[in-house]
């Protein structure tokens, strides 16, 4: 029994030891599982942290990209203080200056690429062509007034890299008012009579500013006048002297009178001399012309001064105009002319010629002739 008891005790001992081993193994397994779970949790946390870091880096890159795009989208914008300048009343021949201020109110560099103008009488100055954001500039414009009374309007165009407003139109305007009036406005002269029947020239200051006559110049010196440049007054009466020989050579021209008036440095007066001869009509016009079908016209050459004259020759440049008959009657001569339209060449719709009459004494009368073909003739010429 003892033996059985010992056997039983040994068996129980083995069982106890086995149970202890199993418990230790289970504990080890549990500890291993805990360690694996902790390790897995650390991996997950590290992975999450890496994802967060990558997301932050991507967000930073995206933000930088957006900042670059914004930088690329910075645009200049030009803004003028005014686009129209009115000089008001200005004197003839005066020099006038105005300014157009502007500012770059955009976020990019403003570049003025070109300034164009409507005419050469509006020169401008611009210090530079590039302006940073917030920087201002000034476009200075000059206008040299003409010599005659008139209303003026001039335009300038400012081209820049402002995409919204690449071309800005600027306008200057004003009224040229004569400060010194002159009478007569034009001289009508003749080749007979004393001093070519030239009238006196009267100069009057309209604003009561005294002035002096500093110069007097006419075309080919046909007309002269005596004056004292040291004398100042608000009114002058000039007595012109006409050189008849020079006037015959230059029957048309102008007179420029220089003045010391502060707002009128000169006045200009044109002159014209009544020609010795004229034609009636002054030109020959033929309509619905037919090729090689003659047309007859009458033309008179007259002496404006009523004197008798003789014809030396009469001809035409191209031979289209021919004289059929010629009759002289004192101060006039009648011509019966035959005009023969030439054959149509190409698409030409008209023809021209010039009838020339030479008088004894060297005077010449020229009469232009122009003919227009009929529609039927033009249509036939194209078939």
- Residue 92 is predicted with a pLDDT of 83
Phi, psi angle pair for 293, to nearest 5°: -110, 105
CA–CA dist 199, 184 (Å, integer): 8
Question: Using alpha carbons only, how large is the chain's radius of gyration in Å?
Answer: 51
Two structure tokens written together for 115:
């300034």
**CB neighbourhood size of 342 (10 A):** 15
Are 154 and 117 a contacting pair, CB within 8 Å? Answer: yes
Domains and CATH numbers, the chain: 78-176 (2.60.40.10), 180-273 (2.60.40.10), 277-381 (2.60.40.10)
Could you tell me the end-to-end alpha-carbon distance of the chain, in angstroms, rounded to an integer?
A: 155
Cα 2 vs. chain centroid, distance in angstroms?
A: 137
DSSP state letters, 286-322: EEEE-TT--EEEEEEEEETT-----EEEEEESSS-EE
SS3 (DSSP) at 226: coil
- Provide block-wise average pLDDT over 10 residues at a time, the chain (383 residues): 47 46 46 45 47 46 45 84 94 89 96 85 86 96 86 94 95 92 95 93 95 97 97 97 94 96 90 95 96 97 93 95 94 96 92 96 93 94 83
Are 165 and 77 a contacting pair, CB within 8 Å? Answer: yes
Two structure tokens written together for 290:
């037919």
Element (H, E) at 101: strand 95-104
- Residue 149 is predicted with a pLDDT of 84
């Amino acid at each position: 029994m003892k033996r059985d008891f010992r056997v039983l005790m040994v068996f129980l001992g083995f069982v106890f030891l086995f149970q202890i081993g199993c418990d230790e193994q289970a504990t080890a397994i549990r500890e291993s599982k805990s360690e694996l779970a902790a390790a897995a949790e650390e991996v997950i946390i590290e992975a999450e942290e890496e994802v967060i870091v990558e997301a932050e880096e991507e967000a930073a890159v995206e933000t930088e990209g957006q900042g670059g795009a914004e930088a690329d989208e910075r645009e200049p914008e030009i803004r003028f203080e005014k686009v129209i300048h009115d000089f008001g009343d200005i004197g003839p021949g005066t020099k006038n200056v105005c300014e157009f201020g502007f500012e770059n109110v955009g976020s990019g560099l403003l570049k003025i690429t070109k300034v164009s103008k409507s005419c050469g009488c509006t020169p401008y100055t611009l210090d530079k062509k590039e302006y940073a954001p917030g920087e201002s500039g000034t476009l200075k414009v000059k206008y040299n007034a003409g010599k005659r009374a008139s209303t003026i309007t001039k335009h300038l165009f400012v081209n820049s890299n402002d995409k919204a407003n690449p071309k800005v139109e600027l306008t200057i305007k004003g009224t040229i008012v004569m400060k010194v009036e002159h009478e007569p406005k034009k001289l009508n002269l003749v080749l007979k009579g004393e001093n070519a029947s030239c009238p006196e020239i009267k100069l009057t200051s309209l604003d009561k500013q005294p002035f002096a006559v500093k110069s007097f110049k006419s075309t080919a010196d046909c007309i002269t006048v005596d004056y004292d440049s040291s004398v100042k007054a608000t009114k002058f009466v000039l007595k012109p002297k006409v050189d008849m020989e020079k006037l015959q050579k230059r029957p048309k021209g102008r007179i420029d009178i220089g003045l010391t008036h502060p707002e009128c440095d000169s006045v200009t007066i044109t002159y014209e001399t009544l020609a010795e001869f004229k034609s009636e009509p002054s030109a020959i016009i033929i309509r619905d012309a037919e090729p090689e079908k003659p047309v007859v016209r009458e033309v008179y050459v007259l002496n404006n001064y009523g004197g008798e004259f003789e014809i030396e020759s009469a001809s035409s440049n191209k031979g289209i105009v021919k004289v059929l008959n010629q009759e002289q009657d004192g101060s006039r001569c009648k011509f019966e002319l035959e005009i023969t339209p030439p054959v149509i060449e190409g698409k030409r719709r008209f023809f021209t010629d010039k009838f020339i009459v030479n008088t004894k004494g060297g005077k010449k009368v020229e009469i232009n002739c122009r003919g227009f073909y009929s529609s039927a003739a033009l249509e036939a010429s194209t078939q």
